[in-house]
Structure 1
Amino acid sequence: MDSGDNTGWEIHFVDDTQGETGGFYLIIQSGDSVAYDYWFEKKEYLDNQLLDHNIKWNS
């Protein structure tokens, strides 16, 4: 993330639509010690959540 309380944290996405949950995970991680995960039933819900964050995307 590029600003705010989570500056420098990494974001990971897991598409589990073909797995057990049938949805999407958003994992926000700071190094190896702190991580939070969120589950979304639909991709549009995940996309809406990302609008709440100022994210610097790496290519």
Structure 2
Amino acid sequence: MAVPKRKKSRSNTRHRRSQWKATPVALVECPQCRDQKLPHVACSNCGTYNRRQVVETA
């Protein structure tokens, strides 16, 4: 297995890690109630998925 010959400096390590960014959660608009929801998931507000009622809501 490959082993580094020299220790990576703190500057180089932090410079490399600075590119690791969290991406914001992608939200889409529900076609029925216009509420924000996760894509490919039933709407928690109205209970529809793919324009069909799949979950009973109170």
Task: Report the TM-score, using the length of structure 1 for normalisation.
Answer: 0.22
Q: Which has the higher helix share?
A: 1
- Which structure would you say has the larger Rg? 2
Q: Which has the higher strand share?
A: 1
Task: Using CA pairs under 8 Å that are at least 6 residues apart, name the structure with larger relative contact order, 1 or 2.
Answer: 1
Task: Report the TM-score, using the length of structure 2 for normalisation.
Answer: 0.22
